[in-house]
Amino acid sequence: MAPSVLITGASRGIGAACARLFAQAGWDVAVNYNSSESAALALVRELEGLGGRAVPIRADVADPAQAAALVGRAEEEFGRLDCLVCSAGVALPQQLLTDTTDEQWRYVLGVDLDGVFYTVRAAVPGMVRRKRGSIVTVSSMWGVTGGSCEAAYSAAKAGVIGLTKALAKELGPSNIRVNCVAPGVIGTDMNAHLSRANLDALADETPLCRIGTPEEAARCVLFLAGEDAAFLTGQVLQPNGGLVI
């Protein structure tokens, strides 16, 4: 029986890259999406073409009921859940904290941090019963360092790192590993608002002199999910080209 993974926010960016790599490695993949249905369905067809099972599941992870139903559906489809990858994320345009509204703050924290909590909370009981499982969260370098004019995003992603470390200690005795990937500047839709000049400047600041690709971040996720990382838990892997050391 192939191992199974649920990837939140899998219709684009790092999540979609994760789905492709997991499928190529022989995993069955549950592709979670919220609004990007056409992209998710196209991705599922692509994954099925690789010979494995893939199912699209629509859910807003910021809603606790939908997050719980999402995990339940994935478990029903595959019989169990071997890995959960929490990659769903949103961001605001760069702005001052004082210009951030209550609604904007709750939107970012709701998806980026609450969504991790809700999906993990739903997935843990099944993993504990089997005494086996892996959880990989996706944070950001701004969760490590904080980013000017990125207060809501930085706070949410820092919370993801704290949650990851706490869960690694809590779930370790049940043989469940919990790790985090905190990418640097990656060429995804989330950074599409940046100008070419800004992207070039960020590349110049990076010791490897370029921005990263979604696939490079996804390889870190796949590594942490698998048996090659069997003695790793509570760790934050940072594919950032040396921008943050």
Q: Is 237 helix (H, G, I), strand (E, B) or coil?
A: strand
Looking at residues 204-211, what average pLDDT do you find?
95
Give the residues across from 186 on adjacent strands: 212
Share of the chain above pLDDT 90, in %: 92
| Cα torsion through 215, 221, 224, 225, rounded to 10 | -110
Is residue 196 over pLDDT 90?
no
Q: Note the pLDDT of residue 72.
A: 98
Confidence of residue 220 (pLDDT cuts 50, 70, 90): very high
191 Cβ contact list (under 8 Å, min separation 6):
185, 199, 211
Task: Tell me the average pLDDT of the chain.
Answer: 96
pLDDT number for residue 11: 96
Q: Residue 195: is its pLDDT beyond 80?
A: no
Q: How many CA atoms lie within 13 A of 16 on its CB side?
A: 20
**201 is written with which tokens?**
């400047």
What are the φ/ψ torsions at residue 133 (nearest 5 degrees)? 160, 165
Check residue 193 and give its pLDDT.
65
Q: Would you state the pLDDT for residue 190?
A: 72
Taking 70 as the threshold, does the pLDDT of residue 100 lie above it? yes
Centre a 10 Å sphere on the Cβ of residue 97 and count the other Cβ atoms it contains: 12
List phi, psi (to 5°) of 108. Answer: -70, -50
Q: Is the pLDDT of residue 198 over 90?
A: no
Q: Is the separation of the CB atoms in 97 and 88 below 8 Å?
A: no
- The structural domains of the chain, with segments of one domain joined by +, span 4-236
- pLDDT on residue 200: 87
Structural domain 4-236, CATH architecture: 3-Layer(aba) Sandwich (3.40)
Q: Given a cut of 70, is residue 192 above it in pLDDT?
A: no
Q: Cα separation of 35 and 52, whole Å?
A: 24
Mean pLDDT within 200-222: 95
**Average pLDDT rounded to a whole number, residues 166-179:** 98
The residues carrying an active-site annotation are 153
